[in-house]
A and B are shown apart, each in its own frame.
Chain A
Amino acid sequence: EAQVTQNPRYLITVTGKKLTVTCSQNMNHEYMSWYRQDPGLGLRQIYYSMNVEVTDKGDVPEGYKVSRKEKRNFPLILESPSPNQTSLYFCASSFLGLGVSAGELFFGEGSRLTVL
Chain B
Amino acid sequence: AQSVAQPEDQVNVAEGNPLTVKCTYSVSGNPYLFWYVQYPNRGLQFLLKYITGDNLVKGSYGFEAEFNKSQTSFHLKKPSALVSDSALYFCAVRDRSDSNYQLIWGAGTKLIIKP
Contacts and interface: CB of A to CB of B under 8 A. Distances in A.
Interface of A: 4, 31, 40-45, 48, 50, 56, 58, 90, 92, 96, 100-110
Interface of B: 9, 32, 34, 36, 41-46, 49, 51, 90, 92, 94, 100-103, 105-108
A4 B44 CA distance: 11
Given A40-B107, A42-B107, A43-B90, A101 B45 contact: no
A4 B43 CA distance: 10
Contact of B105 (A42, A48, A56): A42
Contacts of A50: 100-101
Sorted nearest first, the 9 A-B pairs with minimum C-beta distance are: A107-B43, A42-B107, A100-B101, A103-B34, A43-B105, A107-B44, A42-B105, A109-B43, A104-B46
Contacts of B51: 102
